[in-house]
A and B are shown apart, each in its own frame.
Chain A
């Protein structure tokens, strides 16, 4: 499968990158690690006239502890860098645990945090070659008007499959988006549309530049549990991130957050999970309750080769386990 022809830009600064985005709005695709974009381009899921390789923008490759506390992570920081960061391990363990589960070591050396946050949604009926999709019939997400997952529906259910965003949602991360008019900062939770095709609330001439985590979110214990068939390589079939703050293992929980991924078109905070946990010592029963809440938030459909029923069951189990793991520290 050949890459179709495109013109490659390699800007060195955010300003020139954004200028190119604005100039070729709609015809241009941002390339960070390339681990997801290039296979998709070979499958003709994207056929941009221009590719914006931002890997030359050095200022986006840093993890920086901010003077006033908190952390800034450049969009081009690789997943391996996250994994190797002592500061993140000590202060935001849930992020490291999530990053460590992504794909394989080689892919983590290339894949970036920005790419993981903006990862294209995935579906068994979408991530296929052009010939395959021709044979099957094109779907809402690309070139067609059908949905093979929810026949008759008009909504795209392609599933968000990033591992780090649920961890970042728990940590209340904010992101910086650069555009022709300068930068804006929004909560990560506000980035996602909840739909498989539109995915991100980010304009065609904008790009994600930085991630911020507040200092007040450090010191939470965290866990990330991921359903996969293989111990490596696989995208999550369901994933649960949990953070818990308490003074000790059996002490009542002071604060907690639970988020899930790979079972909806976007990563989701589990509503009510904090209420279930705060003020109580974590035990099997409470963890099970959180599991039920997570399963209520999850809407797995036939977007992957494990049955939705199984994945919904597993969200319960993995949420329970993640709560217990996080509480145990």
Chain B
């Protein structure tokens, strides 16, 4: 490998930036086919009900309606996890949340489809519903899924080391309950799917299916379509057009993706479904509300002796990635620092709400908020410096953590150093005067899961490269560009290995007919896994070029240098740069002009070749010029053997440290974040500007969860299913974010690279919480830190006249969930709804014990 890179490590614009910014690029909803219909979905108005009857007569009569499908049209269950096949494209027996999918109308216009939805007559048998996870865990009857006793999707109990002894040996034990309310991805592009069947020319029957969809995981979509539609995978083509953000919300098969195909099959013509923003909130798969009971023992010098956590996640009505989420919460809890003794009890609980799933920082974020907050409390109690305590508990890599995670590179110490220096931590912490403060927190994340969710021996990423006589390099990868820079990363790695310019490289991605299998874009796996596969494929094809070039240049393959669109023998003096050579007309690779051929013949033995010349020589020599590469995580990075050990292990981990500076308005409770210093260890920054963008994006998303974003519920009804009331931060309150890239060069990563897209998020929330404590001395244990919560805590601190701003719940000491996070206040019984209202029905069935959660 060359000492200096020619492509990687330099900031480059993303390869798809221009088509996105000029509007030329096509997202799924931009696509259209002849005869295409609009699909609209009928959603459940009830959180929990059995479906007795669906009558489509009136709806079918609406002009423009071509087909209506229900659960019976695709009764096979599916789910993203093999252990969680509990979903149907359209429900077959009962609905489990407000927004569950009942039927789909395919019609010539959106208006006709919507009119028909209103005329579908559904007879429901209402069932008691479960909204509070801790109530739900006590359920004996009216279970959400009959095969899940007590509505517990999964529970795990892990003990590493001897937590009992660790806590006994501690000089100080901190213990508290933390809560983080539910948030969602809020990707700019709503989900959209276009499905189209071809007709088999032999039989005239419906044949191959093509699906264009806004997905992070084309391969899983192909797999689930095959299952539910009962078609061989080979007959299904999934194409991912441009995707306007995923953040995990498109990392599994979303109902509309299958519904569109089922509707297209019934309508015998293409069907497109695009979710409204409200439907995106119902499809959800976001970060669950989480209760964390956390206990941390430390010695007087800040050395951590043990951690014990009980985590309950409010998972919604279906399994989704639930077991993975609850396992990540435990696996990553004890692996950022060197903690000798860890006990983890995790419960993933079903409730009658939209399913939670994977969201940026999957599983780690809420638990990290609790842990980093508690560490700050410990520092305050023992009068220790928060940076010093973190330094005292560092891992010593290469090592294996107490729960079996292999760590080879560990840039955390340098991350802490960077942000502490830049923020002048030692002289500013605790010294900014009342109302202003700084806080520190750290986080980490996996660079892809070492074990895939579908157990098999297949590689996790595969890449093919084809080079033709035009000198163009075409890379075929299943990795999904979702705005994170996947295509650009692939092009950079290939160009670096082949010593050619980026513009030669064309990346064809995420089309199951063309591109080899890749598990997709989730758990920050693409750079490490797909990047490794791309590097290997490029090295493979380079060997073939080397063979031909070595012959031409009369040297050994080892002596060749590939760089700047040229190939030369190491040591040879190059008179001309690539640009000049091109000007001499030596770029035509396919058919060389007579005059050029003549000129070449007249030349003496040459000491270099242009990239095209070498490519043409290689094709003349060996026929087609292709290369392949694949990546599977190494066996010793795949973790331990205990139940649940499969989740958490990764080939490499990213690390992040942050300092936030905030001020708190003590009259209003409003928190202003002035600046965030964020250092991220990404192994090696292949494209520094993209790394910075990912870190800034993570911090910004963390900022939203810390201060503003919260899904508010009432009887299972989402009160803020829109971007007006679900308040992601606007540019106005986005602080200056200063990023520092730390390069620990991991031996497992391509050129040493690890993940950059998720790891920083988790540190932002506790950094802000700790800064609020530094500013005004209140310890907020319930996120987000909305003005009313902050003000309630401030008033409690000053023992001022109590004003019930948060429904009587102290945000410093949250006890149980309020269904609406305290943001809606009702006197008495709250609103009365129409006669079919579950609450009304509850009253009329007074003999049954009320299982409904909430507090009104």
A interface residues (Cβ-Cβ under 8 A, vs B): 1-5, 104, 124-125, 127-129, 131-132, 134-138, 144, 146-149, 151-152, 227, 229-235, 302, 304-310, 313-314, 317
Report which of A125, A232, A310 forms a contact with B831, defined as CB distance below 8 A. Answer: A125
B791 touches A310 (CB 8 A): yes
A190 CB to nearest chain B CB (Å): 31
**Interface 9-residue window, one of B131-139, B309-317, B332-340, B818-826:** B818-826
A124 touches B725 (CB 8 A): yes
**How far is it, in angstroms, between the C-alpha of A104 and the C-alpha of B731 when the chains are bound?**
11
**With A132-B721, A230-B727, A232-B730 in contact, is A317–B667 under 8 Å at CB?**
yes
A82 CB to nearest chain B CB (Å): 20
**How far is it, in angstroms, between the C-alpha of A310 and the C-alpha of B790 when the chains are bound?**
11
A302 touches B824 (CB 8 A): yes
Q: Does B724 contact A (CB under 8 A)?
A: yes
**Interface 9-residue window, one of B380-388, B684-692, B798-806:** B798-806
**How far is it, in angstroms, between the C-alpha of A313 and the C-alpha of B825 when the chains are bound?**
15
CB contacts (< 8 Å) of A1 on chain B: these are 110, 114, 276
A322 CB to nearest chain B CB (Å): 13
**From A144, A233, A305, residue with most partner B Cβ within 10 Å:** A305
A232 touches B732 (CB 8 A): yes
**How far is it, in angstroms, between the C-alpha of A3 and the C-alpha of B109 when the chains are bound?**
11
Q: Does B23 contact A (CB under 8 A)?
A: no
CB contacts (< 8 Å) of A104 on chain B: these are 730
CB contacts (< 8 Å) of A232 on chain B: these are 730-732
B807 touches A151 (CB 8 A): no
**With A305-B725, A310-B805 in contact, is A137–B786 under 8 Å at CB?**
no
CB contacts (< 8 Å) of A137 on chain B: these are 833-834, 837
CB contacts (< 8 Å) of A124 on chain B: these are 719-720, 725, 824
Report which of A3, A128, A152, A229 forms a contact with B787, defined as CB distance below 8 A. Answer: A229
**With A310-B787, A313-B805 in contact, is A138–B834 under 8 Å at CB?**
yes
**How far is it, in angstroms, between the C-alpha of A146 and the C-alpha of B839 when the chains are bound?**
15
* Chain A to chain B contacts (Cβ below 8 Å), 13 pairs: A5-B111, A124-B720, A127-B724, A135-B717, A137-B837, A146-B831, A231-B733, A232-B731, A302-B825, A304-B725, A307-B806, A310-B788, A313-B803
B727 touches A151 (CB 8 A): no
A139 CB to nearest chain B CB (Å): 9
**How far is it, in angstroms, between the C-alpha of A97 and the C-alpha of B45 when the chains are bound?**
43
CB contacts (< 8 Å) of B807 on chain A: these are 307
**How far is it, in angstroms, between the C-alpha of A310 and the C-alpha of B811 when the chains are bound?**
14
B668 touches A136 (CB 8 A): no
A151 touches B834 (CB 8 A): no
A307 touches B826 (CB 8 A): no
Besides A2-B114, A104-B730, A306-B786, 12 new A-B residue pairs in contact (Cβ under 8 A), listed by A number? A1-B110, A2-B110, A128-B721, A131-B45, A137-B833, A137-B834, A148-B831, A234-B727, A302-B824, A305-B824, A306-B823, A310-B669
CB contacts (< 8 Å) of A134 on chain B: these are 45
* A228 to chain B: closest residue by CB: B727
CB contacts (< 8 Å) of B730 on chain A: these are 104, 230-233
Report which of B804, B824, B829 forms a contact with A151, defined as CB distance below 8 A. Answer: B829
| Total B residues in contact with A, Cβ cutoff 8 Å | 50
**How far is it, in angstroms, between the C-alpha of A142 and the C-alpha of B806 when the chains are bound?**
29
Is chain B's interface secondary structure helix, strand, loop, or mixed overall? loop
A251 CB to nearest chain B CB (Å): 27
Q: Does B98 contact A (CB under 8 A)?
A: yes
A230 touches B832 (CB 8 A): no
A132 touches B717 (CB 8 A): yes
CB contacts (< 8 Å) of B45 on chain A: these are 131, 134-135
A309 touches B111 (CB 8 A): no
* B840 to chain A: closest residue by CB: A137
Residues of B696-742 whose CB lies within 8 A of A = 708, 712, 717, 719-721, 724-725, 727, 729-733
A45 CB to nearest chain B CB (Å): 13
CB contacts (< 8 Å) of A131 on chain B: these are 43, 45, 278
CB contacts (< 8 Å) of A125 on chain B: these are 831
Residues of B458-514 whose CB lies within 8 A of A = none
Q: Does B828 contact A (CB under 8 A)?
A: yes
User: Using an 8 Å CB-CB cutoff, how does the interface string of B724-763 with A read, 1 for contact, 0 for none?
Assistant: 1101011111000000000000000000000000000000
B804 touches A314 (CB 8 A): no
**From B44, B725, B830, residue with most partner A Cβ within 10 Å:** B725
Residues of B85-132 whose CB lies within 8 A of A = 98, 109-111, 114
Report which of A4, A233, A317 forms a contact with B111, defined as CB distance below 8 A. Answer: A4
B645 CB to nearest chain A CB (Å): 41
A129 touches B668 (CB 8 A): no
**How far is it, in angstroms, between the C-alpha of A169 and the C-alpha of B730 when the chains are bound?**
30
CB contacts (< 8 Å) of B668 on chain A: these are 227, 314, 317
Report which of B111, B717, B823 forms a contact with A305, defined as CB distance below 8 A. Answer: B823
**How far is it, in angstroms, between the C-alpha of A180 and the C-alpha of B832 when the chains are bound?**
42
CB contacts (< 8 Å) of A128 on chain B: these are 721
CB contacts (< 8 Å) of B44 on chain A: these are 135
The 7 closest A-B pairs by CB, nearest first: A231-B732, A135-B45, A137-B834, A148-B831, A137-B833, A2-B110, A232-B730
B828 CB to nearest chain A CB (Å): 7
CB contacts (< 8 Å) of B834 on chain A: these are 137-138, 144, 146
Q: Does B328 contact A (CB under 8 A)?
A: no
B832 touches A307 (CB 8 A): no
A146 touches B833 (CB 8 A): yes
B727 touches A229 (CB 8 A): yes
Q: Does B46 contact A (CB under 8 A)?
A: yes
A36 CB to nearest chain B CB (Å): 11
B123 CB to nearest chain A CB (Å): 15
**How far is it, in angstroms, between the C-alpha of A148 and the C-alpha of B109 when the chains are bound?**
34
**How far is it, in angstroms, between the C-alpha of A313 and the C-alpha of B724 when the chains are bound?**
23
**How far is it, in angstroms, between the C-alpha of A137 and the C-alpha of B836 when the chains are bound?**
9
**How far is it, in angstroms, between the C-alpha of A229 and the C-alpha of B111 when the chains are bound?**
35
Report which of B278, B724, B788 forms a contact with A306, defined as CB distance below 8 A. Answer: B788
**How far is it, in angstroms, between the C-alpha of A1 and the C-alpha of B788 when the chains are bound?**
34
CB contacts (< 8 Å) of B833 on chain A: these are 136-137, 146, 148
CB contacts (< 8 Å) of B786 on chain A: these are 229, 306
CB contacts (< 8 Å) of B803 on chain A: these are 309-310, 313
CB contacts (< 8 Å) of B829 on chain A: these are 151
CB contacts (< 8 Å) of B720 on chain A: these are 124, 305
B729 touches A230 (CB 8 A): yes
**How far is it, in angstroms, between the C-alpha of A313 and the C-alpha of B794 when the chains are bound?**
14
CB contacts (< 8 Å) of B667 on chain A: these are 317
**How far is it, in angstroms, between the C-alpha of A308 and the C-alpha of B818 when the chains are bound?**
17
**How far is it, in angstroms, between the C-alpha of A309 and the C-alpha of B278 when the chains are bound?**
28
CB contacts (< 8 Å) of A308 on chain B: these are 825
B98 touches A135 (CB 8 A): yes
**How far is it, in angstroms, between the C-alpha of A3 and the C-alpha of B791 when the chains are bound?**
42
**How far is it, in angstroms, between the C-alpha of A125 and the C-alpha of B712 when the chains are bound?**
13
* B834 to chain A: closest residue by CB: A137
B278 touches A129 (CB 8 A): yes
B719 touches A305 (CB 8 A): yes
A108 CB to nearest chain B CB (Å): 14
